Structure 1
Amino acid sequence: MDHDELLALLDARMRRGAGPETPAARVEHVSGVVRQSGPESVWNGVLWSDLDAGTADDVIAEQVRHYTALGQDFEWTLYTHDRPADLAARLVAAGFTPEEPETLMVAEPAGVVRRAEGAGAPGIELREVTDEAGVAQVVAVHEQAFGTDGTRLGRRILAQLAERPDTFKVHLAVAHEDGREIPVSAARMELHPGTGFAGLWGGGTLAGWRGRGIYRALVAHRARIAVELGYEYLRVDASDQSRPILERLGFAVLATMTPFQYDPARAQR
């Protein structure tokens, strides 16, 4: 499958055809967008849009009203091939704040496993997280690795583990050093039955433990699970730091995506 076909497949199955994250969320197809809404324990935002210069501003305003009425901040995830071409500028004009762009990358999991064969992270144990104590460790790693508050992430992980235990996996990388166990990295995988896609998220590693193959080991571990479960593709929204590692594992670039955040409280100031 070539680049354009694969991008169209991902758009159709993972964006336009997205299902709700948990039973507490709802996915709606309204006014040229696909959006997910729900309590703070789920991701709120616009997954896909099909707009033109004549409709974009009204549709943007409608989403702002919708999420503001719910009392939720939300994200509009903009991909390079989304239209109209000036949609980014329109979002900024409407009060959205862009975050750092990420690279949408896709690979076949079996190929990732082959490329990662023989590679490892000595002294590192990979554990599946299933309980509240483990989630607390994941949040602590996230906060140290990314320098951001992980409170909301923790609530989302707990909700997904409780409501989607068969399709949501969380893994913690633990170092054994001087008789101590040190959580040093964490990553998640969302399985989307019927789509062929599994999404890889997280992978933040503590600064002092980078460059030791831990992120690569977490990617390979999740790829093996995807192969065992019959998934065709892995999808990652890669940072500049993870992109070179993923390219060496066989991931191909499909697009660039930029999260645009809307905070009603900030917009009203």
Structure 2
Amino acid sequence: MTPDELRAAYDDQLRTDAEMARAAEVVREGPLLWAVFDHGGFVSYRDLGGIEGDALDELIDRTVRHFRDETDVESFEWKSRGHDLPADLGERLEAHGLVAEPVETVMIGEASLLAVVDVPLEPTAEGPVVVRRIVGGDAAADDLSRMLAAQESVFGGGRGPSLASALAELESGASEFWIAEVGDRVVCGGRLTPVEGTDFAGIWGGSTLPEFRGRGIYRALVAARARSAMQRGVRFIHSDCTDMSRPILERSGLRRVTTTTPYVWTR
């Protein structure tokens, strides 16, 4: 499939109610979906339906007032994409007090391109690297706590999932959580989230501690999740990539289809 065809599938299948499946609350306002998750508010849409100028300013203002006055979230994210119209959307969001976070690249491709049978990993000075899926049970909370702490040390921001949310996703089967360990230290972690009713699964939170980069650990974790996705019948993998992970996924055959810029409002 061409990048344009992949982007159309992304817009049609993911920028819908499917993106809000795990929200505690969803309100539809014109073309927008306003959602509240345990980690904060979230705004998305298939497209803005031609809204621009003063009408767009009014829509943004209603959005800010909704989260400020009708919810108790500390912040919300307006998830824009690079092909969204109008072109001055970002400027208008910033004029209403939202702050742009770093741009990420939306990558999509066939899961089979990522599902390498084996990614060899050389032992580190601290011991061998073990890639495994976190399973339910007594050790799950400790495994997830260590994974989330490692991710927070890489990404910061404090807007990742809470331990309670991660445990709920694990126990319900909504997401799979995978880690790479050296001894009892989580050096890389990420999750796989199939999107019900679509051909897609997302790979999220992929983060490797700086001193363990360049060893193929992230690639091994991606391959393990892709193999699991295929077993679930998933066709496409999508991911919002930083400049660190994008080249790895590109070498595996995923295609750049657009960019995404989160604009964040904070009380």
Tell me which interval the TM-score lies in, with the shorter structure as reference length: 0.7 to 0.9
Instruction: Note the C-alpha offset of 1:148.
Output: 4.2
SS of 1:194's partner is coil
CA deviation string 1:107-148 (max 9, x = no partner) = 1011222xx344232321122224211111012211222344
Match of 2:130 in 1: 125
AA at the equivalent of 2:72:
G
Give percent identity, aligned residues only. 34
TM-score by length of 1: 0.87
The 3 A distance-change label for structure 1 pair 32 and 54 is farther
Match of 1:47 in 2: 44
Judge which range, 120-129 or 207-216, deviates more: 120-129
Instruction: Note the C-alpha offset of 1:2.
Output: 2.3
Match of 2:143 in 1: 134
Counterparts of 1:128 and 1:10, CA distance in 2 = 27
The 3 A distance-change label for structure 1 pair 97 and 258 is same
Match of 1:185 in 2: 188
AA at the equivalent of 2:4:
D
Instruction: Note the C-alpha offset of 1:152.
Output: 5.0
Match of 1:83 in 2: 85
TM-score by length of 2: 0.88
Name the count of aligned residue pairs: 253
Counterparts of 1:215 and 1:90, CA distance in 2 = 37
CA deviation string 1:14-69 (max 9, x = no partner) = 113425342x523333212123224xx25521122413234211111111111112
Counterparts of 2:189 and 2:111, CA distance in 1 = 19
Q: Within 5 Å, give how 1:62-211 maps onto structure 2.
A: 62-68=62-68, 69-72=70-73, 73-113=75-115, 116-122=116-122, 123-129=128-134, 130=136, 131-149=140-158, 153-162=162-171, 165-176=172-183, 181-211=184-214
1:205–1:215 contact (8 Å) kept in structure 2: yes
The 3 A distance-change label for structure 1 pair 146 and 25 is same
1:15–1:34 contact (8 Å) kept in structure 2: no
2:255 corresponds to 1:252: yes
Pairwise CA RMSD: 1.9
Counterparts of 2:133 and 2:163, CA distance in 1 = 15
